Structure 1
Amino acid sequence: MRRRLTAIFAADVVGYSRLMGANEAGTLTALEKLRTEVLEPRINAHEGRTVKLTGDGMLVEFPSVVSAVACAVEMQRTMRERNADAPPGQRMEFRIGINLGDVIVEGEDIFGDGVNVAARLESVATPGGIAVSQSVCDHVGNRLNVRFEDRGEQQLKNIEKPVRVYDILLEEPELTTMPSQKKEKPSIAVLPFTNMSGDPEQEYFSDGITEDIITDLSKISALSVIARNTSFTYKGKAVKVQTVGQELGVEFLLEGSVRKAGPRVRVTAQLITSADGTHIWAERFDRDLTDIFAIQDEITHAIVEQLKVKLLPREKKALGQAPTDNVEAYNYYLRGRDFLY
């Protein structure tokens, strides 16, 4: 059985049955014209491979998740232009879902959970829109001139675990910065924690702590959390919190440092209001290395308390689960994950 990691792109036509019922021949002709003039040229330009066509839908894989998103954005923006002058009942719109996942390869076809999640993301995308998974959002980061809107964790049909869903906003940003504004739910960015160990080889550990805090906060549906890749663009840079807040459009920033020495670890963390740089919470943790998961849990719950966020029962349960009780295994895991970036 062959497997590979790939970017999976699933798309179908909105209201296809209605369009076929109204004008079968015209709909088929219009769809074929769109495939020839809009879809296929862009898929080829971004090195995608059409795995299969399913009537009104298509499954495509890309070697790069950035290419998959760029292709989808170009498609949907082009479709908006083509539909601008068409009567509402005659517009042909697509929903697109994109996931980065492991797939099973059989000949020219692909199967597995990675494909299933992409298909379910497509089903929850808005007409003319693009829905993506957390893994896609994290890997794209700020590599494309697009913005992501967090829809929180959703239970997708026939998918065992909830999936955090993001919509891609197709409107061209008017400014190079995203204006900070009051949102319905608090927004936060976790800046890369500084390695204070005096050993560059320990960089993986401080980065790993940062990533795990981002992951934990992302499990909270009442919080809007900036993706890992976006936050890490500030790694090693001396920047003002007000500038970061304005560029990312967030109300709060979490920053800190990590010092690891033998069996002991010291973690400091500060929660800051981006508008004026005011500290609203700060703490220092001097613990045994075996307490590292408890430290992360305390930081997460402190943020929840300070921002007056209400946790759902399943979120409380998810946050209370340590990934392992073997600190040595966790250390090797962080080392391995560091090679991914």
Structure 2
Amino acid sequence: MPSVRVERRLAAIMVADIVAYSRLIETDEARTLAAIRVLRSEVLDPLIADHRGRIVKLMGDGAIVEFGSVVDAVACAVAVQEGVTVHQQEVPPESRIVFRLGINVGDVVVEGGDLLGDGVNIAARLEALAEPGGICIADAVQKQLAGKTGFAFEDIGERTLRNIAQPVRVWGWAKEPARAAASTPLPVPDRPSIAVLPFDNLSGQLEETYFSDGITEDIVTGLAHFRSLFVIARNSSFAFRGKATTLAEIGRQLGVSYLVEGSVRRAGARVRITAQLIEAATGAHLWAERYDRSIDDVFTVQDEVAQTIVSTLVGRIEDARLQQSLRKPTTSLAAYDCLLRGMAHFRSDADTANQQALEMFEKAVALDPRYAVAHSYLAFVKVVLHGHAAAPTEVLDAAFTEAKHAIELDPLESRCDRILSTICLYRREYDMAEQYLRRAFDLNPNDADGLIMKGRLLAFRGRPEEALVCLEAARRLNPLHFRWYDVHFGIALYSLRRFAEAAQAFKQMTLPSSWSSARLAACYAQLERTAEAQVAVAEVLRLQPEFSTAEYMRKSVLLERADDRELLREGLIKAGLPA
């Protein structure tokens, strides 16, 4: 009998799978299927076409895609994950569509339009190893990427894959390589230094992550009250969530001696919190504890965890001092839930995020009228919704009254003073803003956001050199800082006439606004980089067609010193913005 010739070819294969597809379908089949169709037409299909991919097979919960190039396959995968994240921002967490992606390169068998063989099977197994929103690639893919892209993947190690004879070395996508790793270790401070890693959510529901994150954040806040500790900011330690990074490497990247890790399991009326204190360099466990409590006792649990860690690190601390330092918690868990949800919205870039945050903060205050932090954030988000410093006088006055009330409710909560300081700044009450910010810093010297606000205020008050010292200190305390930190560097650098550095700072904004684009235009104009200034001016006018320099200076510019204001006005006019 004549032999049947099998057609083979070398291909890069990407396998995509929707996380928790069965749960989404069970909850709302029609909505889920409609949402998948929209996501395909608006994100997946265009990106696959842009990267010269071919959809081999579509399943209800995923797809198999073929590429002729490894670089195209990986670039497409990264673009898909980033595009899906943006597309789903406004969708409630419990209804979001999230993908896992796996990529392999190898020999595949061609049958009609289908592809078969280990090359496809390995890609499917790699997809199953990826974190939600993540990408796993085979070692063969990683080797072909070397020097060809800026994407960073971390070595997860060898894995034995189901029905695959030989182990495969797996690499996972590092979403923010520039901020997730440092070329040299950060120096460890003289005083005890600590980072609290995000506690694992073991509740079985993805949407419950906000609760475990809130527990973690409150432990960070409790520890940061102590002057004797150097505490890394929340979002720097959270950058390591889901990454295969050793504890020693995390300690090296953050410049700390100690790490705290743990988990939260919330079921019905009970909550179990586990926590461990670890020496970063050796991985040695110095202390571990488990707390089983009624959900009503969750705040007591948080305080106990913070107290025990502190006593392990710095010795015996007097109870009186401890009670003065720890934040006063609300007695209403429902209000606490609302605050956490509001904070999650407030940190989001979604168009409706601030309005959703407002609704959550209002609920928190209604449930617990004495919840100081909720009052503070409610006051602040109202101002933000009306344009920050450009908010009408009556909005700023009402926000001031509410934020002042929050301090009366809890005089030891530094965030209340920090928020009131910002509202005073927006009211152009500079001395009062500095007074409240100084008090916030006294209450919590390890608050990186408070330190960045101090640097911002010094820049606005005409002391840019001092501002840069504070801003650099904040960046050290929070090495994986939010992009908005950079804006405040730009304000100080512009006043120092270091226009090129200021331009780089303003360019870090992930979502450019007319405010930041105008500043960028002024930088380029002062540097006589006319073409780039014109691009920035066009962006300003696209975002705000009625823009005028006079109104911008009057409503949105908080520079106190006349010389600084004139220098900025000069740059805006020189850039070609309407007077």
TM-score of the superposed pair, with normalisation by structure 1: 0.52
CA distance in 1 between counterparts of 2:248 and 2:169 reads 17
Unaligned 5+ runs, structure 1: 188-341
8 Å Cα contact 1:12/1:94 also seen in 2: yes
- 1:146 matched residue in structure 2: 151
Residue 147 of structure 2 corresponds to residue 85 of structure 1: no
Check if 1:6 corresponds to 2:14: no
Deviations 1:62-96 (A, max 9, x none): 00000000000001011122233332211110000
Cα displacement (A) at 1:185: 8.6
- Structure 1 ranges of 4+ moved more than 3 A: 180-187
- TM-superposed CA distance for 1:44, in Å, is 0.5
Counterpart Cα distance in 1 of 2:94 and 2:103:
27
Q: 25, 28, 33: which one pairs with 2:33? A: 28
The question of whether the paired residues in 2 share the 8 Å contact of 1:77 and 1:170 is answered with no
Q: CA deviation at 1:143?
A: 1.4
Match of 1:65 among 64, 70, 76: 70
Once residues 184 and 118 of structure 1 are traced to their aligned partners in structure 2, the CA distance between those partners, rounded to angstroms, is: 25
Gaps of 5+ in 2: 1-5, 187-244, 250-579
- Aligned position for 1:179: 183
2:171 match: secondary structure: strand
Answer with 1 or 2: which has the greater Rg.
2
Residue identity matched to 1:77: E
Residue by residue over 1:134-180, the C-alpha shift from the partner in whole angstroms, topping out at 9 and shown as x without a partner, is 001110113112111111001111111111010011226359x9523
Structure 2 distance, partners of 1:40, 1:180, is: 41
Residues 86 and 155 from structure 1, CA distance in 2 versus in 1: closer, same or farther, beyond 3 angstroms? same
Equivalent residue letter for 2:162: K
More strand by share: 1
Distance in 2 between the 1:34 and 1:171 partners? 24
- In the alignment, is residue 47 of structure 1 matched against residue 56 of structure 2? no
Contact 1:11–1:57 under 8 Å retained in 2: yes
SS of the residue corresponding to residue 178 of structure 2 reads coil
User: 2 CA distance for matches of 1:137 and 1:2?
Assistant: 26
Distance 1:54 1:94 in 2: 13
* Inter-partner Cα distance in structure 2 for 1:150 and 1:84: 29
Alignment partner of 1:101 is 2:106? yes
Residue in structure 2 matching 1:163, options 165, 168, 189: 168
Which letter does structure 2 place at the counterpart of 1:158? Answer: N
1:9-47 CA-partner distances (Å, limit 9, x unpaired): 000100000000110000000001111110000100011
CA distance in 2, matches of 1:85, 1:36: 18
Contact 1:43 1:49 in 2 (8 A): yes
The code of the aligned residue for 1:179 comes to: S
Counterpart Cα distance in 2 of 1:140 and 1:121: 17
2:22 equivalent in structure 1 = 17
Number of residue-to-residue matches in the alignment: 186
Q: For the residues of structure 2 that align with 1:48 and 1:82, how far apart are their CA atoms? A: 21
Name the counterpart of 1:124.
129
Highest RCO, 1 vs 2 (Cα 8 Å, sep ≥ 6): 1
DSSP 3-state at the match of 1:142:
coil
> 1:14–1:127: 8 Å Cα contact kept in structure 2?
yes
Q: Residue deviations 1:159-210, cap 9 Å, x none?
A: 11111010011226359x95234973999xxxxxxxxxxxxxxxxxxxxxxx
Q: Residue 79 of structure 2 aligns to which amino acid in structure 1?
A: E
Aligned residue for 2:356?
Answer: none
Q: Secondary structure at the match of 2:166?
A: coil
SS in 2 for 1:173: helix
Distance 2:185 2:154 in 1: 14
SS of equivalent to 1:84: coil
Answer whether contact 2:152 2:177 (CA < 8 A) is retained. no
Superposition RMSD in Å: 2.0
Q: How does 1:292-331 map to 2 (within 5 A)?
A: none
Letter matched to residue 36 of structure 1: S
- Alignment partners' CA distance in 1, 2:69 and 2:112: 20
Query: Aligned partners of 2:98 and 2:54: how far apart in 1?
Result: 21
Match of 1:184, as an amino acid?
T
CA distance in 2, matches of 1:74, 1:15: 21
SS in 1 for 2:63: strand
The correspondence of residues 224-263 of structure 1 with structure 2, limited to 5 A, is none
Q: Deviations over 1:220-246 (max 9, x none)?
A: xxxxxxxxxxxxxxxxxxxxxxxxxxx
